[in-house]
Each structure stands twice: as structure tokens, then as C-alpha cells.
Amino acid sequence: MSDDELHHLSPAQVVAVLRQLEARLRAVESELAAAHARNAELEAELARRGGPPKTPRNSSTPPSKGWKRERPSGEGAKRGPPFGHLGTSRRRATPDWIVLCQPTHCAGCGTALAAAPQERVGQSQVVELPPVQPVVLEAWRYAAICPHCGTTTTGAYPPGFEPTRVFGPHLEALWTYLHEQHHVSYARLARLGRDLWQLGISQGGLANALRRVAQRLGPQAATIREQVRASPDIGSDETSARVNGRTHWQWVFQTPTASYHVIVPRRNGAVVQEFLGDAEPETWVSDLWKPQLNARAARHQICLAHQLRALQYVVDREQST
């Protein structure tokens, strides 16, 4: 704002500008205080350990252990996308349903406008979900006696209507997606069913449904496993995972096109051997953890991502001295 513009402001406008500047100043002071506190923590850690702290950027420390920037609070705190984010606008889609907003009577004299020519002057489009209501499907099984030989023949239930099943495959697939991909707990899945669809299900019923899905996906998982095993180059890593309140290990074996995961209570080389079987890849990529070196392969290569983080720590340590 130029000096000339400032001279033409009214007293109320000057007060408003000052209040905005005060809010921005408080936000900057809050960020500065957080930065000073973080610097003090880093300096204390550096003095205690004799080197820079291990972070997800310069070590194998998981991202969840990394430092999170504190969002400034109070009036004037900026929210929204980060600086430099390229915004996008939603394009209009082909409508599935059109609502005609036609005037029926003149707003001036009340004359009926049904026969008057009308011109479209605007449009407003929203995206909405249709009402979601579970439907109950029931299969009736019939039997017939052959009039020729007297044999009784009974019709078969189609897939998805097995007598041991209570819920359909589409609903089970949705529960599996929410639980496995988005980590929604059994308790929350049961609450979602009640709140959204008035559908009652116990946590045990959900566990049984997901177990049936896992059994149906067994052949696909076996195909992925064989695809990874057949690759000449395989990368592998492992990380801790909690299963029923106990620490297990989640192993991943991957190629550029497929990944196979195994969760077991062990972190030894036997896991690698059980996965490989009689396969022997040309290159085994890992962080060179001892059990990973037990893999039968023509050569072992260190994971470049691990190596780059380790080198970054060397750079950080050099700069801190």
C-alpha cells in the first residue's frame, strides 16, 4: 500500500489494517518461537550424541518419527495448500439428471408463463451421492423329480449365495478395502454400517467376512508371489508390525511391477528362504541386513535409497562440526 493510499484511509480503516498486521506478527512470532525451540532441541541432541540427529532424511528412521512442523494458531494463521501449489478447477461433467428451473408466473403481474418462450440463462452443477440402502437378496433353491427315471435333481445356489454366507461379496469387498487400505478398525466398520445404512454387524462377523475375502484372493496372491520369484532382480526390506498386541515383522519382496508382503513373527533368514524356495535371482537388493544376505542370489546390491540417506547423514555430520 502506497503512502498516498495510506493518507486517504479513514480512522476505522487504519485500525483494521493495524489489526491485520498484529495478527500476522503474532503468527510470525509463533513460528519463530517454534523454530527456536526446535533449534534448541537439535543443539541439545547434537551435544549429547556428538553428531547430527538421525532423521528420515539421513537414515532409515521411519517418517513417523520425523519432526512435524507446528501449525501456527490464532487469528490470521494461514491455512490451505502450501506455497507454489498449482490449483485446479473441477470441470463440468455430463449430467445424469437435469432439474428444469422454469418460471411459472410473471414476477410483475402474475400472468402464467407456461406458453411463453423461455431461454436458458444459467446452470448450476453439483455432484451428489444417491441414497445408499442395502438390499436383501434371497435365493430359492428348487428340486425336481425326473418323470422318466425318478432321480431328484436340486438346483445349485449361485456364487455369493452360499448357505454359510450372510453378506454379499460387494459388501465384503468394501469392508476389506476400508480395513486393509485405510486401516479402519472393526469397531469403526461396525459403527459405519449402523450409522450409514442401519446395518447391524458384529466385529466377529466382520472378521469372518474379511477372512472369506482373503481365502478368495489366495490364488491371486500366489500368482503375484510366483511373478516376483521369477524376476531376475528382487528388492526386499522388512519393518516391524503389531499383530494381536505382539511385535511381528512385515517383509516385502518386490520388482518394478509387483510386490508381495508377508507378516511373520520372525526376522531371520528363514523367511527369505521360505519365500524364494528353489528360485535364485540374479540380483538381490536390500539394506544388507544379515538375514537378507542369506538370499541365494548371484550378487547382492545395497539399496540405493538406504545408501543415499546414509550419505546424507555424513554430509549433515560434516556440516555440524
The pLDDT score that the predictor gives to residue 249 is 92
In degrees, to the nearest 5, what angle opens at C-alpha 191 toward C-alphas 187 and 195?
Answer: 175
pLDDT tens digits for 105-139? 999 999 999 889 999 999 999 988 888 888 999 99
Q: Kindly write down the DSSP assignment for every residue of 114-177, as one continuous string.
A: TTS------------PPP-------PPP-EEE-TTT--EEEPPPPTT--TT--S-HHHHHHHHI
pLDDT higher than 70, residue 74: no
pLDDT tens digits for 253-305? 999 999 999 999 988 989 999 999 999 999 999 988 888 988 999 999 998 88
316 with 236, same domain? yes
pLDDT higher than 80, residue 21: yes
pLDDT confidence bin for 2, thresholds 50/70/90: confident
- Type of residue at 272: V
Domain for residue 306, yes or no?
yes
Domain for residue 17, yes or no?
no
Average pLDDT, the chain: 87
Domain for residue 23, yes or no?
no
Domain for residue 154, yes or no?
no
**What average pLDDT does this structure show over 3-17?**
82
Taking CA atoms, 27 is separated from 33, 37, 39, 80, in Å, by: 10, 15, 18, 15
198 with 238, same domain? no
242 with 313, same domain? yes
260 with 316, same domain? yes
Question: What gap in Å lies between CA 285 and CA 287, rounded to an integer?
Answer: 7
Domain for residue 104, yes or no?
no
pLDDT confidence bin for 185, thresholds 50/70/90: very high
Please state the pTM of the whole predicted model: 0.61
For the chain, give the percent of residues with pLDDT over 70. 91
Domain for residue 72, yes or no?
no
CB 248 within 8 A of CB 241: yes
pLDDT higher than 90, residue 86: no
Domain for residue 182, yes or no?
yes
Partners of 79 in the beta sheet?
none
Burial class (CB in 10 A: 0-12, 13-18, 19+), 281: buried
The pLDDT score that the predictor gives to residue 202 is 92
- Type of residue at 165: R
> 83 is written with which cell numbers?
506455497
pLDDT confidence bin for 310, thresholds 50/70/90: confident
Q: Are strands 283-286 and 233-243 parallel, antiparallel or unpaired?
A: parallel
CB proximity list for 144: less than 8 A, separation 6 or greater: 152, 153
**What average pLDDT does this structure show over 47-63?**
73
**What average pLDDT does this structure show over 10-38?**
86
The pLDDT score that the predictor gives to residue 78 is 65
212 with 244, same domain? no
Domain for residue 209, yes or no?
yes
262 with 200, same domain? no
Provide the residue range defining the domain that includes 298.
Answer: 231-320
**If you search the block for the grid coordinates 520372525, which residue do you land on?**
266
When divided into structural domains, the chain yields a total of 2
Q: Kindly write down the DSSP assignment for every residue of 249-318, as one continuous string.
A: EEEEEE-SS-EEEEEES--SHHHHHHHHTT---SEEEE---GGGGGS--SEEEE-HHHHHHHHHHHHHHH
212 with 237, same domain? no
pLDDT confidence bin for 151, thresholds 50/70/90: very high
Question: What gap in Å lies between CA 190 and CA 200, rounded to an integer?
Answer: 7
